[in-house]
Structure 1
Amino acid sequence: MTTLTNEDRLALIAAVERPGITPDDQMSEAGRKILAFHLARLLKREAGVREGSDPKDVHEMRVATRRMRSAIPIFEDYYTDDALKTPRKMLRRLAHALGGIRDIDVLRIKTEQYATRYDDNVRAGLVPLYEAWENQQAAARSELNDLLDSDAFEHFLVHFAQFLNTPNAQVATNNADTSSPKAMLVRHVAPTILYKRFEALRAFDSILDSATFDALHQMRIRAKEFRYALETFEEALGDQADSVIEAAKALQDHLGALQDARVAAGMLHDYMAQADENQPMTVILHYLATRQAEKQKLRGEVNANWATFNRPQVRQSLAASVAAL
């Protein structure tokens, strides 16, 4: 049984306005700052997530979870092998539980926007769909609350916070060999990290015309990883990093909308396959056709959105922001 109150959990890690990363930070300590920053943001939303009245709480907790999951691969080599093993596993479980709620929130918001364009008969035809989603979401919320109430989650919070609050804890190396030093500072390591992620994203340029929806989903993930890496080091980068972040975000948002439309169509198919055979489906079929048309429209706009991102100005801004290190 868990023993910490919400106030106890909030007190585990200090909430700050910015992580405070500098070019001269050791990577291990920069990682500590980033992970602590997002853990505090996660804990700030826990009470609201449990209450369940505001979808924004789930969204913000999910964002904080994603940010930590994205940061771990950047910084894990600078800690001992076991330092982030448990946090990685717990954050994966938490992301899955939050996703089960958030995906339906997004789907419902979009469906309600669609319904406002039609009369009461159409809105009534969507009610069984809402009811099915509410049942799915209730099950997902129960799973999430069970996780938040678990001893395993409390153990994760206490030990992860202790690790983050202890400078130089579980650092992999102190770089004692001065004859062959290892790059350990943000200013030395961040450029390679950023350009590796930029490289992984730009690789999609060669397959864009024939890219499948699965490939475009992977492209969205690479865009998100690049953006998150930029935002991780943003305080240490030059001023032009802002424009690169905005360009990456615009691309990610478009590909995200495409994936949302694709997921929505899949969920509507699943609903119809499981519904009572006597249930009227005209309204839902029309809505499905609308989401499929949206998916195709967004697919047709991918190349133009990519061209906006893949401009020389974006590459020049990236180079200038990295040069400030």
Structure 2
Amino acid sequence: MFELSTDEKETLKIIADMGNKNISRRAMIILMTEADQKPENIAAEVDLTVKVVKRWQREFLKKRLGIFPDQTIAESSANVSVETLDVAQVPEHVEQATVVAESKSTTKPKPVKSKQKSRNSAQALLKTDDKATNVEHDQKTKEDKKEKAVKLSSSKDKPSKPATDEKKIGLEPTDTMAEAGRKVLAFYFESMVEHEPGTRLGEDIEALHDMRVATRRMRATFNVFGDAYKPKVIKPLLEGLKQTGRALGPVRDLDVFLEKLQHYHEALSEEGKQNLQPLIDILQTRRNKARRKMMKHLDSSAYRKFKKAVRKFVKSEGFGAKPVILGDNPEPNQLRHVAPTLIYGTYAKVRAYETVLDGAPINTLHQLRIASKRLRYTVEYLEEILGAEAKQIIEDVKTIQDHLGDLNDAAIASSIVQEIINKLEKKQPKTKQDLEQIKVYLQAKHDEQHELLISFPAAWERFNRPKFRTMLAKSIAVL
């Protein structure tokens, strides 16, 4: 899928041996991909879903080592010394479960592989490559190693494309709220349109995922910048985004459900597969129906008018903006003046949940997920004008968001499977269908919820630490 340079490979193996399991597994994905392992095999080894594996593969193609926080790259560079420049060993600490952002979101049928087996398998995978690289390093002089360490530290393994080639929103600290929001909306509107052809084609489920993400970011743009516009101007845009989200959402949700279910299905015996197939068939039928509705919306005149309205809005500077009070008593309107309030306001809403987390029901945790998503989006929108700490802040917030997202997915899946079981049981006297395997899958979803619930306090503790608040303050201090 891609080739790694020697420097990239060394850095990845050092990162894979670091203590942050979230970051470590990300490095393992890239190393195993370079070793020509299939996404399904990688997912099983690092205990993540195939979807997560493929996402990081795509991100690495775009950003190379830019998928890791600057702090992680700096730490890996510091570890490249005369003694440690030999290729780092595959980490001994890769585990099957974790409390970080990419925590387990697919429950696998038992028996589950032991931790030691997973470690040994991962080490065996890269054993040959490690030996070859170690021979190469043995031939280098200490001076060569020192020179490489300095070079690696300074370059941070730059991606194949210059950073300037990466798409950026283009925000400036002196932008007004209205024009900043317009830039953000334009950025994600372009992404939405870019992924529409792939969504229509339907061959790659990630195209729909990316299009849906873009529409969500567009809606969230108005949560952050909406007060800068006249309500009557943005109302039709919000309505169009709402309708489009409703069209895309059910298809995407069923795509995710089916992908996880297929992953579970593949590990069953032939009899188990046969008994679980009715559940897959029902969900596939629902997905096909939802896709027809989605296509009807994308082909509608309402959707075409919506896109036309957005294009006009993002290309017309000043259009729909509320008048700004200037003069001797001006109101804050530039990003550099308003951003601290925006960020700390959303952060306060997230942190407020610490008073109710003890024994909190899933509905409360779902609301926390929404609040954390708004914090992440706000920081992401403003990242270009914030300090370097913003990247790590986004990673930490994503930890909470993804953990709670997996919990929400498991809860919804349980509800849907239970509803299907109830319907099938009514027909059972006539069909004599064996529902035991479907019920086992339902129990697996309940078990997944339980695991995510009991591991959440540790994930929250990492997020709600003084270091995070320090990073937040430093990122804003540059304004």
Q: CA deviation at 1:116?
A: 2.6
Q: Which of 38, 41, 57 is residue 191 of structure 2 equivalent to?
A: 41
Mapped to 1, the partners of 2:324 and 2:440 lie a distance apart of 63
Q: Which of 466, 473, 477 is residue 312 of structure 1 equivalent to?
A: 466
Secondary structure of the 2:419 match is helix
Deviation string, structure 1 residues 76-111 (Cα, Å, up to 9, x no partner): 111122121011111111112211011111111111
Secondary structure of the 2:410 match is helix
2:240 corresponds to: 90
| 1:294 and 2:448 aligned | yes
Mapped to 2, the partners of 1:307 and 1:222 lie a distance apart of 17
| 1:262 and 2:411 aligned | yes
1:103 corresponds to: 253
Matched residue count = 309
TM-score (norm 2): 0.63
Secondary structure of the 1:217 match is helix
Mapped to 2, the partners of 1:280 and 1:161 lie a distance apart of 54
Q: CA deviation at 1:23?
A: 0.8
User: Is the 2:387–2:475 Cα contact (8 Å) retained in structure 1?
Assistant: yes
Q: CA deviation at 1:169?
A: 1.3
1:202 corresponds to: 351
Give the partner amino acid of 1:254. H
Give the partner amino acid of 1:274. K
> Relative contact order (C-alpha < 8 Å, sep 6+): which is higher?
1
Mapped to 2, the partners of 1:312 and 1:75 lie a distance apart of 29
Q: Which of 362, 373, 386 is residue 213 of structure 1 equivalent to?
A: 362
2:390 corresponds to: 241
Q: CA deviation at 1:180?
A: 2.1
| 1:135 and 2:285 aligned | yes
Percent identical across equivalent pairs? 35
Mapped to 2, the partners of 1:290 and 1:192 lie a distance apart of 43
Q: Which runs of 5+ in 1 are unaligned?
A: 1-15
Give the partner amino acid of 2:450. Q
2:477 corresponds to: 323
Q: CA deviation at 1:265?
A: 0.5
Secondary structure of the 2:232 match is coil
2:320 corresponds to: 170
User: Is the 2:195–2:207 Cα contact (8 Å) retained in structure 1?
Assistant: yes
Secondary structure of the 1:225 match is helix
Deviation string, structure 1 residues 221-265 (Cα, Å, up to 9, x no partner): 111110011001000101011111100001111010111111110
Mapped to 2, the partners of 1:123 and 1:93 lie a distance apart of 37
Mapped to 2, the partners of 1:159 and 1:78 lie a distance apart of 18
| 1:151 and 2:301 aligned | yes
Mapped to 2, the partners of 1:84 and 1:31 lie a distance apart of 12
User: Is the 2:244–2:303 Cα contact (8 Å) retained in structure 1?
Assistant: no
Q: Which runs of 5+ in 2 are unaligned?
A: 1-165
Mapped to 1, the partners of 2:306 and 2:243 lie a distance apart of 12
Give the partner amino acid of 2:209. H
| 1:223 and 2:372 aligned | yes
2:122 corresponds to: none
Q: CA deviation at 1:174?
A: 3.5
1:193 corresponds to: 342
User: Is the 2:177–2:334 Cα contact (8 Å) retained in structure 1?
Assistant: yes
2:329 corresponds to: 180
Q: CA deviation at 1:61?
A: 0.6
Q: CA deviation at 1:166?
A: 1.1
Give the partner amino acid of 2:458. A
Deviation string, structure 1 residues 186-222 (Cα, Å, up to 9, x no partner): 0111110111110000011011112110000001111
2:221 corresponds to: 71
Q: Which of 54, 60, 66 is residue 204 of structure 2 equivalent to?
A: 54
Give the partner amino acid of 2:471. S
| 1:303 and 2:457 aligned | yes
Give the partner amino acid of 2:388. D
Q: CA deviation at 1:279?
A: 2.2
Give the partner amino acid of 2:472. L
1:26 corresponds to: 176
Mapped to 2, the partners of 1:192 and 1:91 lie a distance apart of 26
Q: CA deviation at 1:293?
A: 0.4
User: Is the 2:376–2:394 Cα contact (8 Å) retained in structure 1?
Assistant: yes
Secondary structure of the 1:209 match is coil
Give the partner amino acid of 1:97. A
User: Is the 2:234–2:320 Cα contact (8 Å) retained in structure 1?
Assistant: no
| 1:112 and 2:112 aligned | no
1:250 corresponds to: 399
